[in-house]
Structure 1
């Protein structure tokens, strides 16, 4: 496994402290850069990388390090922390020890903690690591050969990870972009105890990527589908038995009900491209309606280190336009909530595509019921004030902390669907208001241009899928006619 070591420091890493950390391998190591200067690399005498170090990231969002690294990861105190990630090269003896020594030196000088706390090299870090017998492998040359990539073939870029939750970090996001541009598949290989953050899980599902889980019984399996995998022609691919079928790993089906639930809202808004437009209003309104407060933080990768700001989010989207902008938004530890927000410039205006997921424990049934009861009022606000196009509300049996384990999870069940004014006009008001559903839809917004809220079920039975299919067929039939 590739070994990542993270220094969480109480004070900002300055040039001298970083230099002291870089000297963990002695004065003979070379220092190089990659990723247009965003990554510093400790290299051997031939210039081959031993450890890659990301630019320090300021975390101003409480609980964000604990969300991704586990309880107790954050330094004591109420102030912000700096996240400095060091990634040791695969198959190079003492590279992990060098990464640990670098992180330990930073925390010795700046205060803080090293994750994992027992990483090799953290004890006795004041003494340089002896690298006299170490030889690294040459750095690969193709565009997909990012510092994060551990193995590169013509078919796939393979990344090895071993941490509690695999987040969509800046380096993983860059590796995903580069592999897609080179027509490769990104394949993340983990031990069975690892989980994916919701952002990583969603992006892997929406791209030709794969989560490969090591298993002592079958070797490897897909952590999102359970398909048994084997290494074939330069990539992990589904294995076949004598009948040509792909078996499902036993580990994937070993599921125990926990009673934990998730509420998932997926919605789109469309605004005119006006100079005074400020984005993020619909997401903030949903967050306040369902949690009682605004989001805690946001960023373009995980961990999300910036305090929530609609203004700064808008500025970033305008800077990147006409290219889309993808961001992650996070909540506070007391109510797990994570959202992805994608801003897209279209000929019609500026579209926001949002997926918001909230987690509820076994003893939080009342809180989930209160959130479900708040949905019609929230839908009315989104229609009236935030140019809502559509919204799907779903409930699923899944982890409260929102991370995705390498086990089967029940798919979400539709709970409600919302149609915005423009879509109502397209379908026809009479058609949108008179459906085959048992419950009459709730009219939203002004009478002149209304939207409609459709209750589909209770979120516990598959009958809601039948209701959704009936509704969609009814609305599409009207549009086609």
Structure 2
């Protein structure tokens, strides 16, 4: 049975409905709160949590339950309430299921997974022992060592939920890595993949043949010295410390699906008239013909797309940075993460964006120069890299090898071009000259690159270009 149970309800679970759900463990269970009351916990007699319940979230964006759970939700808007059971305690998992069953019975709707929420009866839980603190003190963390925090996720898609975001934050503050363990068949949201870049953080996949392996690199792993770490091949040496690659990771089939990926940075003056998100919206409209569908500070993205609301959230959190996720409509998969931060240069927006296309769909690569010009002339673009890659249309990251993207174009903003000495930005070692964007007196430059997913030589051209622009 899963450790996470989610109720998707038509009506908001008010305090009476939540109380009825919390009584699924019987009246002898204690109730506590964490996170300024945002998390309610059912605890044993010693105060250790059995089940942690997140505050209900109003989801106003269609397709999020389907994308993250493979479940059918009530029509938007609906309420998303997560319950997480303490790892390894069967009664806790049953209490979480009964909690969700009671919520859906009283507020209408359904639960995920369906088999976890079939009983409304009180769960008998005499003699329960639960995870010791401090591991149990953080609802998302299942194992805590002096090197890493380990999170076990048995969900179709490991998403950047509020709980997981808190776990990332807590691990970083404690100078620990975060390791996410999931069964075979689970995928990652791109938002989570992009947060696992620093060692010893990693995605650990349970595998029937090799035990465990890294879902992003394929390296076979084992639990050693307080964390999951790579194992050496039998014939490894000090000069050649090879690591075996899991067989499951190498089982790849080319489906013909593609992704168009853009990474760009824009820098704005810090003034009261600034509205954030406009650069991302412009790109989205140019490539899809419509604006983003929704956004949020975690997954699921629960709010309808709004430049003003996004700006208000970033303003309220300043000078601390703001991270948000942005999604598209279900018929055109698109996902972006945006990091807004205040720097000496002004207010910076760092955007990572990808759109998915099926085997019978062509990525709109012809529109990329127009996208670049819009960003350069209207949104203070600093730089942008555009790639095409062989990857899933739904944007989910599988625990299988996906070839690297290949560069389609690089763009240098007008201010960066102006600061280059002489003609360095215009005279490059590439065979094709850059294209000027915007006014001739102050142009940005667009550097076309091969962009063929079957030819990685484009990275050599890109490396030569970057070395040249840096004056190396």
- Give the TM-score taking structure 1 as reference length: 0.94
CA distance in 1, matches of 2:381, 2:41: 46
Structure 2 equivalent of residue 74 of structure 1: 73
CA distance in 2, matches of 1:446, 1:337: 31
Asked if residue 136 in structure 1 is aligned to residue 130 in structure 2, the reply is yes
Q: Aligned to 1:32, what secondary structure does the other structure show?
A: strand
CA distance in 2, matches of 1:148, 1:464: 41
Structure 2 equivalent of residue 115 of structure 1: 112
Gaps spanning 5+ residues in structure 2: where?
237-241
- The correspondence of residues 53-452 of structure 1 with structure 2, limited to 5 A, is 53-70=53-70, 72-75=71-74, 78-119=75-116, 122-125=117-120, 127-140=121-134, 145-206=137-198, 208-244=200-236, 245-365=242-362, 368=363, 371-428=364-421, 430-452=423-445
Structure 1 equivalent of residue 45 of structure 2: 45
CA deviations 1:13-38 (Å, max 9, x no partner) are: 11111111111111111101122322
Alpha-carbon shift at residue 85 of structure 1 (Å): 0.4
Asked if structure 1 preserves the Cα contact closer than 8 Å seen for 2:411 and 2:447, the reply is yes
Structure 1 equivalent of residue 12 of structure 2: 12
Asked if structure 2 preserves the Cα contact closer than 8 Å seen for 1:41 and 1:52, the reply is yes
Runs of 4+ in structure 1 displaced over 6 angstroms? none
Asked if structure 1 preserves the Cα contact closer than 8 Å seen for 2:135 and 2:144, the reply is no
Alpha-carbon shift at residue 233 of structure 1 (Å): 1.2
Relative to structure 1, the CA distance from residue 113 to residue 207 in structure 2 (aligned partners, 3 Å threshold; closer, same or farther) is farther
Asked if structure 2 preserves the Cα contact closer than 8 Å seen for 1:5 and 1:103, the reply is yes
Alpha-carbon shift at residue 429 of structure 1 (Å): 6.3
CA distance in 1, matches of 2:434, 2:131: 63
Asked if structure 1 preserves the Cα contact closer than 8 Å seen for 2:56 and 2:79, the reply is yes
Alpha-carbon shift at residue 96 of structure 1 (Å): 1.0
Asked if structure 1 preserves the Cα contact closer than 8 Å seen for 2:183 and 2:205, the reply is yes
Task: Provide the alpha-carbon RMSD of the alignment.
Answer: 1.5
Alpha-carbon shift at residue 428 of structure 1 (Å): 4.1
CA deviations 1:59-92 (Å, max 9, x no partner) are: 100001111001x4312xx331111000011121
Alpha-carbon shift at residue 3 of structure 1 (Å): 0.9
CA deviations 1:280-337 (Å, max 9, x no partner) are: 1100000000111101111111111011111111111111111111111111000000
Asked if structure 1 preserves the Cα contact closer than 8 Å seen for 2:50 and 2:130, the reply is yes
Alpha-carbon shift at residue 141 of structure 1 (Å): 6.5
Relative to structure 1, the CA distance from residue 175 to residue 305 in structure 2 (aligned partners, 3 Å threshold; closer, same or farther) is same
Q: Aligned to 2:388, what secondary structure does the other structure show?
A: strand
Relative to structure 1, the CA distance from residue 401 to residue 269 in structure 2 (aligned partners, 3 Å threshold; closer, same or farther) is same
Q: Aligned to 1:203, what secondary structure does the other structure show?
A: coil
Structure 1 equivalent of residue 239 of structure 2: none
Q: Aligned to 1:67, what secondary structure does the other structure show?
A: helix
CA distance in 1, matches of 2:382, 2:224: 44
How many residue pairs match? The answer is 466
Is 289-298 or 127-136 further displaced after alignment?
A: 127-136
Structure 2 equivalent of residue 34 of structure 1: 34
Q: Aligned to 1:380, what secondary structure does the other structure show?
A: helix
CA deviations 1:330-373 (Å, max 9, x no partner) are: 110000000000011111111110011100011112xx1xx210
Alpha-carbon shift at residue 94 of structure 1 (Å): 1.5
Relative to structure 1, the CA distance from residue 2 to residue 154 in structure 2 (aligned partners, 3 Å threshold; closer, same or farther) is farther
Asked if structure 1 preserves the Cα contact closer than 8 Å seen for 2:135 and 2:143, the reply is no
CA distance in 2, matches of 1:11, 1:95: 25
Asked if structure 1 preserves the Cα contact closer than 8 Å seen for 2:262 and 2:386, the reply is yes
Q: Aligned to 1:295, what secondary structure does the other structure show?
A: coil
Asked if structure 2 preserves the Cα contact closer than 8 Å seen for 1:392 and 1:418, the reply is yes
Relative to structure 1, the CA distance from residue 141 to residue 129 in structure 2 (aligned partners, 3 Å threshold; closer, same or farther) is closer
CA distance in 2, matches of 1:187, 1:79: 33
CA deviations 1:255-275 (Å, max 9, x no partner) are: 111111011000010111111
Asked if structure 2 preserves the Cα contact closer than 8 Å seen for 1:73 and 1:115, the reply is no
Structure 2 equivalent of residue 462 of structure 1: 456
Relative to structure 1, the CA distance from residue 82 to residue 475 in structure 2 (aligned partners, 3 Å threshold; closer, same or farther) is same
- Give the TM-score taking structure 2 as reference length: 0.96
Is 235-244 or 220-229 further displaced after alignment?
A: 235-244
Q: Aligned to 2:7, what secondary structure does the other structure show?
A: strand
Relative to structure 1, the CA distance from residue 131 to residue 395 in structure 2 (aligned partners, 3 Å threshold; closer, same or farther) is same
Relative to structure 1, the CA distance from residue 466 to residue 108 in structure 2 (aligned partners, 3 Å threshold; closer, same or farther) is same
Asked if structure 1 preserves the Cα contact closer than 8 Å seen for 2:135 and 2:142, the reply is no
